[in-house]
Chain A
């Protein structure tokens, strides 16, 4: 009878396509919006994730997320270095500065000040130049977004100059950095230079990056640093999640995206459910005839579920293809970098679509199950 179910479904082309469109549209909206949301949330921790040399970040105990810090003192750095189990500890500056291009155009930039000696926290993926370039006086590494903004339409080239805090700085490299939350340009320079590019404050050390000794776990060092300094020490991963949760709790972003996803869910369920219901109602006499002929309720239920699953699978594949195409087409767009379609969202959307088509078919199934087969004798 699977063949009969399939033929019944595809026989009414308009409703068949309508059902598929509803599921595909719903799938696209849910997977696309969720992917954008997770991409956006991932962006909030980009500068944390890009530091791959040190597993522990130490900061002021009241720090809530990466973009709002209270500076530490040199004394803090020395105390951390003295904690047992610490291999090394280096300062890291992270803050906002302003840069001006050759044409006078200026923009706020995220400035990362790296330890002068080790350059810990430097970008790993360079499109042009190398890290040693940072050792030259007043040299910076800019990310591609920054380069594109200050030198639009020009080929990547070292030696170009920008102005920061009345100082001329020279581009010593171009990095492929992860996109920050606000999509600002990211500049890297040595710590000693970074503090000259920003307004004077008494202390400017945002974080101390710590590497545990071989054989000592990060958790152990973290605990010892906190005990010895009363500062907050946290692993890279945990700090990333803390930052994400800060944005989730303190901005309207999740509500807005959640609303869109919820609407997609409701629209998908309602449209698919209504179309499926109408489809079933219009075939009620045929279902009655099948019941009269001796097709069991269980078989008819299986037929309807099969129809729902077919529609669900095709709609899901189409919707997911639309989402994947979007991310494929926009993958080279610098402003949209960091947005992608994770497999977890594909799987999760699949489960939700399964729920949608099941709900959509349930009301139809109920209608058919309570149908008296004697209805076929009523002209």
Chain B
């Protein structure tokens, strides 16, 4: 990978493969993925169920190891990271928004938002105060002391966004953030995500099959059968492979 590409891009995948199982039972889920995700952009990863979107997201986030190929995230060669280094890398640099929110049911909204700070060793009061402040920015000030089961789906997703952003990560990965929400709430969540999360020094990757949110994307990568088959900029479609435009030249 060239230095120039690494500095401008948050994520660079080159011929990334990932398989599960062993020998006869081996299933190849990613079949040589080439992908570039830039800072300051919201990139959507779309495709039919089982095409490998979530696996690719897990690999990019350092939750799964690659089987082959090259993967650079925020300038870090992920294939060379040890287990504990990968954990530290995620804690410092990545934010997560999950499809099912995965909030801790016994914690209030503000406490849930503060979890990454608590994990990083920040004092509880300080962490929760920052969680409360971020929830305020997300329009959740009045629900900061509510438990997850007292919140609507949209409100829970906003708490999850606060949790993903509170430690100022440089890469935000979102897995189907709107699939559990109705159209109106999903739209509001994506609007908020775009407004709050997308910054010059941060990249946002969203896995979705919800075509209603495509308008929020700066770039859309279509996946099928473990490969990126097409990328599309916000206002024009690039029906070509990344290598053909010189990304991995």
Interface residues of A (CB under 8 A from B): 1, 3-4, 7-12, 285-286, 288-296, 299, 372-374, 376-379
Q: Looking at the complex, which one of A8, A12, A293, A373 makes contact with B119 (CB distance below 8 Å)?
A: A293
> Contact residue range for chain B?
35 or more
Q: Shortest distance in angstroms between A371's beta carbon and chain B's nearest beta carbon?
A: 11
Residues of A within 8 A of B175 (CB): 376-377
Tell me which of B103-111, B186-194, B210-218, B221-229 binds A: B103-111
Q: Shortest distance in angstroms between A113's beta carbon and chain B's nearest beta carbon?
A: 70
The answer on a CB contact under 8 Å between B102 and A286 is yes
Interface residues of B (CB under 8 A from A): 54-55, 57-58, 61, 63-64, 84, 87-88, 90-92, 94, 96, 98-100, 102-107, 111, 115-116, 118-120, 124, 163, 175-176, 179, 207
Residues of A within 8 A of B61 (CB): 292
Residues of B within 8 A of A376 (CB): 63, 96, 98, 102, 175
The answer on a CB contact under 8 Å between A7 and B107 is yes
Total number of residue pairs linking A and B with CB closer than 8 Å:
90
Q: Looking at the complex, which one of B90, B92, B99, B118 makes contact with A4 (CB distance below 8 Å)?
A: B118
How far, in whole Å, are A378 and B20 apart by their CA atoms in the complex? 15
Apart from the given pairs A11-B105, A373-B63, 11 other A-B contacts in the complex at a CB distance below 8 Å? A7-B111, A285-B100, A291-B87, A292-B61, A293-B116, A293-B163, A294-B92, A374-B58, A377-B99, A377-B207, A379-B179
The answer on a CB contact under 8 Å between B119 and A290 is yes
- Given A7-B106, A11-B106, answer yes or no on A377-B57 (Cβ-Cβ < 8 Å): yes
The answer on a CB contact under 8 Å between B104 and A4 is yes
Q: Looking at the complex, which one of A1, A296, A372 makes contact with B87 (CB distance below 8 Å)?
A: A296
The answer on a CB contact under 8 Å between B124 and A10 is no
How far, in whole Å, are A11 and B115 apart by their CA atoms in the complex? 16
Q: Looking at the complex, which one of B58, B88, B100 makes contact with A379 (CB distance below 8 Å)?
A: B100
- Given A7-B111, A374-B58, A379-B179, answer yes or no on A1-B119 (Cβ-Cβ < 8 Å): yes
- Given A3-B118, A8-B104, A379-B176, answer yes or no on A294-B63 (Cβ-Cβ < 8 Å): no
The answer on a CB contact under 8 Å between B94 and A296 is no
Residues of B within 8 A of A3 (CB): 111, 118, 124
Q: What would 23 A/B residue contacts be, using CB atoms closer than 8 Å? A: A1-B119, A3-B111, A3-B118, A4-B111, A7-B106, A7-B107, A11-B104, A11-B106, A11-B107, A285-B102, A286-B105, A288-B102, A292-B63, A294-B91, A296-B87, A299-B119, A374-B64, A376-B96, A376-B175, A377-B54, A377-B63, A377-B98, A378-B54
Q: Report which residue of A8, A11, A291, A379 has the largest number of chain B beta carbons within 10 angstroms of its beta carbon.
A: A379
The answer on a CB contact under 8 Å between A292 and B90 is yes
